[in-house]
Amino acid sequence: MIRPLFTLGGLAIAAVLLALAWGSVNVPAFDLWQVIQGEGSALNRTLILDLRLPRTLAAFATGGLLAVAGALMQVLLRNPLADPYILGLSGGAAVGALLAMLAGMGTLLISGSAFAGAMLAILLVFGLAHGTGSWTPSRLLLTGVVVAAGWGAVITLMLAITPSYKLPGMLYWLMGDVSYARTPWPALVVLVVSIVLIMPLARNLNVLARGPMQAAALGVSVRPLEWTVYLFAGLLTATAVTTAGSIGFVGLIVPHMLRLVLGNDQRIILPASALAGGTLLVLADTLARTVVAPEQLPVGVITALLGVPMFLYLLHRSR
Amino acid sequence: MSSHRLKFRIALGLLILIVVQSLSAGEIQRCAVDDAGQELCVAAPAQRIVTLSPGATELMFAAGAGDQVVAVVAYSDYPPAALKLPSVGNHTRIDMEALLALKPDLVITWVTGNLPAQIELLHELGLSTFAIEPRTFEGVSGVIERLAILAGTEQEGFVEAERFRVGIATLLERYRNAEPISVFYQVWEQPLMTINNEHLIGKVLQLCGGVNVFGDMPRLIPRISAEVVLQADPHVILTASVDGASDDQLDRWKSYSTLRAVARNNLFFVPASPISRPTPRLLEATRLVCETLDIARERV
């Protein structure tokens, strides 16, 4: 059970080292080693420690957050098409961020506004779906999809009325851009703490995946568990979107890729998602900033280009 | 008289430098205020300059500091020497690593064109930035002079700024009493965009005696509908294209035969880069627009 996690951990470390070594400026391995040891030229130190390291760690944290949130959503809603954004979280965060950009605020306030928007979206869907009587996943799903469409309309309106020179910044945020992340620590801390807190619940999540009736019959308190998972997934997604905008694909596909290889035990899938999601996004971001340098591509494009063939291969192999 | 004014300006500039030098022990402090209101002082002329907009590239060369530019961004196509310089991305997506690796001592940024998040990162990495965005003719000549001060090329820079100033003054004099003629300047076809009188292109139209039918709109670059253009019924419709060649951007108006501009065949194209960038080429662009409006006046 532990071995796949070790493999994934090794891959993650390799990906991070690759990301530190690659860039539009060639830093030979020896110079990289010098910088890690604390020496090295000022330029290399700035490149590695001030540019590449925060960006790589932010990419890892964001990928991990999205993948875990996706896995949780897929268990909660018992729907393989669920992704972290299905309940309108990214829409709420986007409206918050775009409003802050429209008002000309600085990066910190934009991030704060995005987080507030995401929290508002969570509460909105939660409140609307609650209603009287049963609170079923399908009710939650429907409410979420409709609210997401509402946020989408607000985003389109804002894009239509914003002055032309502010549009590129807004579009890049919507496409997802890891270079926005000033510091990776909030995202990393949230990822690590969430994994630690959710692991004890993983066993119950396995039971919940069979259905609420069966879970209740087996002694799982279904409602509190569902609420907890929902809030966790929301917090993870909000942190991810606040850090790097709405990067698609990772949250939907990474848990499925892992299930094809490792089975559906949440005790493995959740930490594996964190590692695999992080690795995928680190690799995608490295490619996005080097493949046509000095032009910089949006990372969401690369995650799809990498992930689609990988997923299809795994799907094919699992037959 | 103009060369006297020019010599006066150079002398004044050098005098200011000498005065400042005598105040600060030993080093000449070259200071200039950028278009975002920030003052930048450099101890020595900037030798490794990176320009983050095509306009800034042209202005740097105009200031006589082309040899001191080490990198540009995409579309920095004028003067031809700029095509040989390495690029660090485009004005909205800068490759920070490539920029840092060039070890610049001055980065010329664009107030509204570069993304604020990337400018913040430049500051965090300790780079000196100078933001420019001229909005008037005097702004263009002023920015050339300020860039020349920072780059230590006052000789060429002040001459070029004066040439521009004199050229504009000449055109202003020539077209001061030109008969007003209503103009619609089409920035983009879909969505339909134009400019107001605050925009540099709006000022070009005003100088030539053109009355921008959307000059009083509150936004700098408003997005409008075809209906309001039909309602305004301008005498001239003007747009920009590559090298000023006729293309299909104005074809949609040809189907409205009641438009005065269409009836009199007053649909014109001007070269895009000279009129869109706040650089010395704006002088030639203004001259061309004025001559175009004269042709239009004949046809009305």
Same domain assignment for residues B44 and B67: yes
* pLDDT bucket at B25, cuts 50 / 70 / 90: very low
Helix (H) or strand (E) holding B42: strand B39-42
Q: Which one, of A76, A109, A250, lies nearest residue A178 by Cα?
A: A250
**CATH number for the domain that contains residue B246:** 3.40.50.1980
**Region B191-210 average pLDDT:** 95
Architecture of domain A3-317: Orthogonal Bundle (1.10)
Same domain assignment for residues B15 and B102: yes
Whether the pLDDT of residue A129 is over 70: the answer is yes
* pLDDT bucket at A33, cuts 50 / 70 / 90: confident
- Tokens 């850090």 locate to A243
Same domain assignment for residues B9 and B118: yes
The runs of H, that is alpha helices, within B26-136 are 54-62, 96-101, 116-124
DSSP B223: B
* pLDDT bucket at A73, cuts 50 / 70 / 90: very high
Same domain assignment for residues B161 and B196: no
Last residue in a domain, options B169, B199, B223: B169
The three-point CA angle A84-A85-A86 to 5° equals: 100
Same domain assignment for residues B187 and B272: yes
Exposed e or buried b for every residue in A137-171, given b needs 16+ CB within 10 A? beebbebbeebbebbeeebeebeeeeebbbebbbe
Same domain assignment for residues B100 and B135: yes
Rounded CA separation A100/B42 (Å): 34
CB contact under 8 A, A43 and B103: yes
Same domain assignment for residues B84 and B227: no
Count of structural domains, chain B? 2
Of B8-12, B148-152, B219-223, B256-260, the one with minimum mean pLDDT is: B8-12
Q: Which one, of A182, A50, A43, A25, lies nearest residue B104 by Cα?
A: A43
- Tokens 């992340």 locate to A181
**8 A C-beta contact, residue A264 and residue A209:** yes
Q: Which one, of B278, B261, B75, B297, lies nearest residue B185 by Cα?
A: B261
List the end-to-end C-alpha distance of chain B, in Å, as a whole number: 38
Q: Which one, of A96, A247, A118, A273, lies nearest residue A181 by Cα?
A: A247
User: What is the least distance, in Å, from the CA of A309 to any CA of chain B?
Assistant: 28
Same domain assignment for residues B186 and B74: no
Please check whether residue B218 touches A, CB under 8 A. no
For residue range B179-194, list pLDDT tens digits in order: 999 999 999 998 899 9
Which positions in chain A touch B86 (Cβ < 8 Å)?
294
Please check whether residue B96 touches A, CB under 8 A. yes
Q: Which two tokens stand for residue A97?
A: 């961020």
Q: Which domain holds residue B122?
A: 2-169
User: What is the least distance, in Å, from the CA of B103 to any CA of chain A?
Assistant: 8
The three-point CA angle B38-B43-B47 to 5° equals: 95
Sign of the torsion formed by the C-alpha atoms of B79, B83, B85 and B88: positive
**8 A C-beta contact, residue A64 and residue A280:** no
CB contact under 8 A, A172 and B115: yes
**Parallel/antiparallel/unpaired status of strands B93-94 and B89-90:** antiparallel
**Region B135-161 average pLDDT:** 95
Same domain assignment for residues B243 and B274: yes
Average pLDDT, chain B: 92
Last residue in a domain, options B119, B137, B169: B169
Please check whether residue B221 touches A, CB under 8 A. yes
Please check whether residue B197 touches A, CB under 8 A. no
Best mutation target, A22, A24, A27, A159, to test chain B (most B CBs within 10 A): A24
**Parallel/antiparallel/unpaired status of strands B89-90 and B69-71:** unpaired
Q: Which two tokens stand for residue B248?
A: 């299909």
DSSP B210: E
Whether the pLDDT of residue B22 is over 60: the answer is no
Rounded CA separation A277/A268 (Å): 14
Same domain assignment for residues B23 and B112: yes
CB contact under 8 A, A25 and B98: yes
Same domain assignment for residues B198 and B252: yes
Coil/strand/helix, residue A305: helix
User: What is the least distance, in Å, from the CA of A243 to any CA of chain B?
Assistant: 13
Same domain assignment for residues B65 and B140: yes
List the end-to-end C-alpha distance of chain A, in Å, as a whole number: 23
Entry pTM? 0.84
CB contact under 8 A, B115 and A23: no
Helix/strand/coil percentages in chain B, nearest 5: 50, 15, 35
Last residue in a domain, options B169, B190, B205: B169
CA atoms within a 13 Å half-sphere pointing along the CA-CB vector of A149: 5
Which sequence spans correspond to the domains of chain A?
A: 3-317
